[in-house]
Structure 1
């Protein structure tokens, strides 16, 4: 009787493990030095990149062939400290692992998500750029290659705006049992 119970429990665990989803999380904020996470955009500095390197941050994902879906999230707090209305363009860009400049539109890089925000003098706003990674999208296909670059750009048209990057992360859901070939 013990053997039958053990066999049934083993079969149940094997069936459950085939449906297990694993999370792969990358806190991109940890790759950006603290002094680069906040600052001021003004007439002298009209744009800033996160990370500061135009090639962005390289991410390599082992077992990414088992990618189910995921999300990318960027959050920044903005405050117009000038005397004029300001427009800010925010974008998250992705490119292949060998791309050396995510912001030139060459080598396969593209804007995965973008948003424009208008702030009046003295106005403060927290902006979140969410990106869902779903099968059949260019983002999913690029990430599924296993080696990609990611970066963000914040550009200003206006007077002065203070910014603080508060979140930057990639969360991927992988079903590792998809790696086992079917006979």
Structure 2
């Protein structure tokens, strides 16, 4: 695996290093030792699968706060998704910056998202599926979110939003005091 910095402190795109032969290829998709060698959290509490029927569907921006702050490792296993991560750690040198990354079944990229990063994604194709591992169990009392269209971040989503849950539409606009209060 190759760990490619995203420009946000602690967040990485993970490229496969396939070993090919006449049958196809083999590649390590995850290795706890490789993650730990990069200083990344390697614990997996849950693996989640998300299907978006319609192109333009948007999910997020979500994160969990302590004591259940979670790191995520994501892949798109069918179709394509555009993932956006936002650094919400007040002490970080990349605080309030964001990065967008296309993950697809074709490019086979992974994305590592540190704790206290907002994360959301938009389906670029009908029937796209995201598979992601998280380091902590889903804890409703620690779940937080910010609006996908928050003017603080000026995120340029690639498509018009075709579907959005009522929960995601109701997230508040960003408040620096909210993340400062939960920062470890």
Rg comparison, structure with higher value: 1
TM-score normalised according to structure 1 size:
0.35
Higher relative contact order, chain-length normalized (CA < 8 Å, sep 6+): 1
More strand by share: 1
